Structure 1
Amino acid sequence: MARALVIGSSGGIGNALLGEVKSRGYEVVGVSRTVDDLDITSEGSIQRVLGQLTGPFELVVVATGALVVDGNKPEKTIKALSSDALIGQFATNAVGPALLLKHCLTLLPRDAPSKFAVLSARVGSIGDNHIGGWHSYRASKAALNQIIHGAAIELARSHPQCTCACLHPGTVETAFTADYAKTHKTVPPAQAARNLIDVVEGLELAQSGGFFDYAGEAVPW
């Protein structure tokens, strides 16, 4: 039986992903801040939690992230920027997932097919940014995309059958997006999870390092 690891499994979309992967026949392990006291901004915490797991996992999905960090909401203008907001967003949305990938390397099989997927966001696309705003969040997701793209090049050597990708889930009906649901079309977590796992399972090795939306379409960098 293939094994899957969902990181951030207590969140709205993370929990839905846990259930979706399980329904597809995987043996699933979930870790989260709520259950495991996982702090993705602390490498020591990541080492402690992931170090207790035994691989290999043929599928790893990172469903962590935050739109509001320490009370700092997305900025409407550049004048609203603060160093605390920028640092908080990068720590949560870029540094955290990067360290998770670092410590997942020993949990991924070296000689068998595997998938490593991270939830990103379309607003992290530089080419698709036509309205500005949300500077800290956008920049943190753009940084995440760059890290995953670069890591995929390295994984092609160390884990030659691993497909690594960033995913845009759409606007999912969770507490994460509650303040923005009126202006964006939303989907229930269960539907978002089905869409994302469909995309992940359909990715080919040649697509490793890419950025894809919930329909499997490539998103501009």
Structure 2
Amino acid sequence: MGWRFGHALADMKTLILGHTGGIGAALLRHLQDAGHEVTGLSRADGLELGDQNSIADAAEALRGQRFDLIFNATGGLVIDGHPPEKSIAQIDAKAMAAQFALNAIGVALLLRHFSPLMRPDSRAVFASLSARIGSITDNRLGGWISYRAAKAAQNQIVKTAAIEIARKQKQHIVVALHPGTVQTALTRDYADRYPTITPERAAGALLGVIEGLSPQDSGSFRDWKGKEIPW
């Protein structure tokens, strides 16, 4: 890959949050195979998105390091055994709160604590996995209310953070990315009606999208083919 972060390959540094999941692990392999220096953090390392202190501690442990790419590959669909709702009648307050804690609030906390680790005064990217299902405009089927709403909230968080970060670092890029329907444990029980792609293909495509982003694209929501998704 012809990365255009403005640094020699030996200086390229990437941080993957959630590097043990299907997409996170594939991203790790792609980047390491390309010769990049990659750091990964996950629950196994004590990173728990429902615990703000664990997020702050994980970021503090990396203080002094700076990254050209920070990729948030965390997320969840079925949490604590609660599958996506098929109707409003199935909404459960605790299940909905858990969706927001992981897929929205958790992302906000990652941005708070890890975005300061983006390399200053240079092109650097903070990319967060979202989902097309979080698009309000694109919602034609209904259902999956908690997951949709949490991903829509994440998109707003990413958009708002991008505006603030650009005021201080004009070369920084903050984006939400839809990876496609990927063959992972998250989608195993729900992807039978949709064409799927492998984690390796998704990872390569997402890295290609990131490579082509400019600061003018910060705050956008894009799919794995680089096409902008309506909010």
TM-score by length of structure 2 reads: 0.93
1:42 Cα deviation after fit: 0.9
Q: Which residue of 1 aligns with 2:5?
A: none
2:48 to 33, 36, 39: 39
Distance in 2, matches of 1:200 and 1:94, equals 21
Give RMSD over aligned pairs. 0.9
What secondary structure is seen at the aligned counterpart in 2 of 1:65?
A: coil
Distance in 1, matches of 2:190 and 2:34, equals 31
Superposed, 1:69-218 pairs within 5 Å as: 69-218=79-228
The answer for unaligned runs of 5 or more in structure 1 is none
Distance in 1, matches of 2:139 and 2:216, equals 26
Distance in 1, matches of 2:77 and 2:188, equals 11
Query: Is the CA contact (8 Å cut-off) linking 1:17 and 1:190 kept in structure 2?
Result: yes
Give the number of equivalent residue pairs.
220
Query: Is the CA contact (8 Å cut-off) linking 1:167 and 1:213 kept in structure 2?
Result: yes
Distance in 2, matches of 1:11 and 1:42, equals 19
One-letter code aligned to 2:46:
D
1:109 Cα deviation after fit: 2.0
One-letter code aligned to 1:137:
Y
What secondary structure is seen at the aligned counterpart in 1 of 2:211?
A: helix
What secondary structure is seen at the aligned counterpart in 2 of 1:172?
A: coil
**Quick check: which one's helix share is greater?**
1
Distance in 2, matches of 1:180 and 1:220, equals 23
Distance in 1, matches of 2:42 and 2:32, equals 17
Query: Is the CA contact (8 Å cut-off) linking 1:50 and 1:103 kept in structure 2?
Result: yes
One-letter code aligned to 2:174:
C
What secondary structure is seen at the aligned counterpart in 1 of 2:16?
A: strand
Deviation track 1:99-119 (CA, whole Å, cap 9, x = no partner) reads 001001321122111011000
What secondary structure is seen at the aligned counterpart in 2 of 1:44?
A: helix
1:49 Cα deviation after fit: 1.3
What secondary structure is seen at the aligned counterpart in 2 of 1:180?
A: coil
Query: Is the CA contact (8 Å cut-off) linking 2:165 and 2:172 kept in structure 1?
Result: yes
1:23 Cα deviation after fit: 2.5
Query: Is the CA contact (8 Å cut-off) linking 2:115 and 2:126 kept in structure 1?
Result: no
Query: Is the CA contact (8 Å cut-off) linking 2:85 and 2:146 kept in structure 1?
Result: yes
Distance in 1, matches of 2:173 and 2:119, equals 12
1:37 Cα deviation after fit: 2.1
Distance in 2, matches of 1:159 and 1:21, equals 25
Deviation track 1:34-71 (CA, whole Å, cap 9, x = no partner) reads 2x021011110001112111421010000000001111
After superposing on structure 2, the runs of 4+ consecutive aligned residues of structure 1 that deviate more than 3 Å are: none
TM-score by length of structure 1 reads: 0.97
Distance in 1, matches of 2:105 and 2:81, equals 19
Identity %: 48
Distance in 2, matches of 1:105 and 1:65, equals 18
Distance in 1, matches of 2:181 and 2:206, equals 12
Distance in 2, matches of 1:193 and 1:33, equals 20
